[in-house]
Amino acid sequence: MSKSVQRYDYDVIQIGYGPVSKASALFLDRAGWRVGIFERFREVYPLPRAVCIDHEIFRVLHAAGLGDIVDRVTSPAPVYRWFNAEWRQLLAIDWTVGSTSGGTEVNFVHQPSFEWAMDQEIKARPGLDLHLHHEAVAIEQDADKVTVTVRDTETGETRQVTARYVIGIDGANSFVRQSLGITQQDLGFEADWLVIDFTLNNGLTARDLGIPECGQFCNPVRPTTIVPGGIENGRVCRRWEFMRLPHETKEEMVVEAKVYKLLEDWIKPDQGELVRHTLYSFRSLVADKWRDGRILLAGDAAHVMPPFMGQGMCSGMRDVWNLTWKLDRVMRGAASDTLLDSYQPERAPHVTDVIKASIFLGSIICMPDEKQAAERDAMFLSGNAPEPAPFPILTDGFLHRDAMGAIVAPAGQLSPHGTVRHQGRTERFDRFVETDFSLILSNGLIATDLSASAWTILEKQGVQVVTVADRRKASDTEIGDTQGQFQRFMEAHGIKAMLVRPDFYLFGGAANTQQVEVMISAFGAQAAAMNLISVNRKEISA
C-alpha cells in the first residue's frame, strides 16, 4: 500500500498550533504522513492554560515517542483538596493512587515548556511543514481533496494549499467550525476566571506560603483555585485562578494592580515574579458535527469545558489519538473512509460526560452566594453530597456488540498498562507491544487453542497476540506482569482475554476460549464492513 501524495501539497492540513495540534502533527509524522500546519499567530501562544496531563495521555505521549519530553515537563500530582471558607475539607480527589495506566492518576505540567519542546521537535522533522502568521480564510472540498486559502498576516498575500484531509484544531472560536456552519450544544456552564502564573523565589514552597499544594478554596467571597504550575526557567511556578464576581468587570480583572490585589492574601510581590495572567470565560460547549466529508474538528474546536477536572487539553489529545490511527489506515488504503464515521460517536459522548463531571465540580466552587454556599457546605460535611461520576468509557463506535447490537462489556474500557518484564528487560508494556491491535491472553488461555478461522482474522488485521502472566511464572515467550496491572484488571472484569485497539481502548473482552472466538468473529465482521486490513502484515511474536 503506497502513499500517493502527488496531487496534494500535504496528506493532512492542520489549522491551529496549540498543544493538541502539535501532538496531532507528531502522531501523524510518526506514521509517515506529510502535514502542513497553519497558525495565525507569530509564535507559541504564551498565556496560561492547561496544567494537567492524566495517566492516559501520559501513556499516549510515551507510546508516540514523546516520553522524554513529557517526563521532562511533568511531575506527579498531589491529592486534590476542596475547602470551604473556614478551610474545612469538602472533597478530596486522590490523584496519587495508582492508575489503570500504571502511574499516578494525574501529572502536573508546565504547558509553555511542554509546547516549546514539542515545537522544537516539530521544527526538526522534515515531514512537518509549519507556517506561523498564516490564517485560514476559506476552505473548500470536493470528492478527492480539501483546498484551504491561507493569508500571510504580515504581507497580506494569499495562496491556496491542498490536502487529502483537514483537521480544524483552531480553538474555541474555530474558523473551521464556523466556516462549515456547525452549531454547538450548550451544556449550561459559564463563568469568568482570572488565571495567573507566578514563579516562586528559589527554595520557597507551598508549605512556606501556608497554601494547599493543590486545592480549591470554595469561599463565596472569592472562589479561588491554587495548583502547581510546573517548572519555568528552573523555578517553581504556582497557578492561582480567581473567579470574577458579578459586580466586577472583565476589563478591571486584567489590570495588573488588580492582579496583585487578588494575590496579596496568598503571596507577596517580593516572594517571586508575576509571569503571565489573562481572563478566561469558561463554558461548556460540544459541536453538533465533528466531521464534514474530508474536514474534521478536534480539541477546543469540537468542545470546551470548565477546568475543574483538568481535562481540557487531555480531551483534545484523546480526539487526535483516536483520529490519527483511523486517518492513517484510511490514507494507506487499509480501511474505507467509513472508519472515520466512528470518530464522533466514540469521542462526543465521552467528552460530554467529562464536561458534565467538570460542571459538577464547578458547581461546588462557583458559588458567590453565601446562603447557597452554606447549604452546600452542610451537604458535603454531612456526607450527603453526590459523588462525582466515574470517569467515562466509550459507549459507541468500533466495539464488540451482541447479535442485537448492544455493546458487550467490558468493550469501551481503557485497557491496563504498566511496567512489565520480558526477555530479561523491565520496561513499559508499550515498549514491547506495538501500538496497534493486540490480543492479550492471560490466566490459562492459550493462543494455540484458537481456531483456524480466528487466526485468519487476526492475521488479516495484523493483530499481535501476546500472553501476560504473573511475573514469577512468566516463561521466556510471555510478558511478566510486574505491577499486577493486567491481572487485577482482568479479574475485576471477569475476563481472561482482551482485544485492544490502537488507541488503547478495548474492542472487547472474553472469559474463555469460546467467548474469544465470538469476539474475534465480531471484530472480523466489523473490520470487513470498513475494509479494514493490516497496515504492516509483519509477523510479530509474543
For residues 118 and 422, what is the distance between their CA atoms, to the nearest angstrom? 31
Q: Which of 362, 390, 408 is the last residue of a domain?
A: 362
Residue 424 shares a structural domain with residue 519: yes
Residue 22 shares a structural domain with residue 149: yes
Domain count, the chain: 2
Beta strands in 98-205 (DSSP E): 106-109, 128-131, 134-141, 146-152, 158-168, 184-200
**Does a structural domain hold residue 501?**
yes
Pairing type for strands 106-109 and 224-232 reads unpaired
> pLDDT tens digit string along 167-189?
999 999 999 999 999 999 999 99
Residue 517 shares a structural domain with residue 439: yes
pLDDT cut 70: percent of the chain above it: 97
pLDDT surpassing 50 at residue 259: yes
> pLDDT tens digit string along 295-341?
999 999 999 999 999 999 999 999 999 999 999 999 999 999 999 99
**Does a structural domain hold residue 390?**
no
CATH of the domain at 333: 3.50.50.60
Query: What single-letter DSSP state applies at residue 132?
Result: T
Query: Which grid cell sits at 352?
Result: 460530554
Residue 161 shares a structural domain with residue 308: yes
Give 359's contacts (C-beta < 8 A, 6+ positions apart): 187, 188, 189, 284, 305, 306
pLDDT tier, 540 (very low <50, low <70, confident <90, very high otherwise): very low
**Does a structural domain hold residue 275?**
no
**Does a structural domain hold residue 336?**
yes
> pLDDT tens digit string along 427-483?
999 999 999 999 999 988 999 999 999 999 999 999 999 999 987 778 888 999 999
Residue 337 shares a structural domain with residue 452: no
> pLDDT tens digit string along 341-351?
999 999 999 99
Residue 321 shares a structural domain with residue 423: no
Distances in Å between the Cα of 355 and the Cα atoms of 99, 147, 462, 509 are 21, 33, 36, 28
Residue 439 shares a structural domain with residue 354: no
Residue 429 shares a structural domain with residue 306: no
SS3 labels along 290-352: CEECCEEECHHHCEECCCCCCCHHHHHHHHHHHHHHHHHHHHHCCCCHHHHHHHHHHHHHHHH
For residues 118 and 120, what is the distance between their CA atoms, to the nearest angstrom? 5
Q: What is the pLDDT of residue 539?
A: 31
Residue 161 shares a structural domain with residue 302: yes
Residue 346 shares a structural domain with residue 424: no
**Does a structural domain hold residue 332?**
yes
**Does a structural domain hold residue 118?**
yes
Q: What is the pLDDT of residue 474?
A: 81
**Does a structural domain hold residue 86?**
no
Question: Side chain identity at 456, as an amino acid letter?
Answer: T
CATH of the domain at 429: 3.40.30
Residue 358 shares a structural domain with residue 423: no
Distances in Å between the Cα of 53 and the Cα atoms of 35, 419, 429, 469 are 25, 19, 19, 30
pLDDT cut 90: percent of the chain above it: 87
**Does a structural domain hold residue 261?**
no
Q: How far is Cα of residue 476 from the mean position of the Cα atoms in its chain?
A: 35
Q: Which of 319, 344, 362 is the last residue of a domain?
A: 362
pLDDT surpassing 80 at residue 542: no
Q: Which of 362, 380, 410 is the last residue of a domain?
A: 362
Residue 348 shares a structural domain with residue 438: no
Q: What is the pLDDT of residue 342?
A: 98
> pLDDT tens digit string along 98-142?
899 999 999 999 888 899 999 999 999 999 999 999 999 999 999
Q: Helix axis angle, 111-123 relative to 19-30, nearest 10°?
A: 40
- Domain holding 505, by residue range, is 419-529
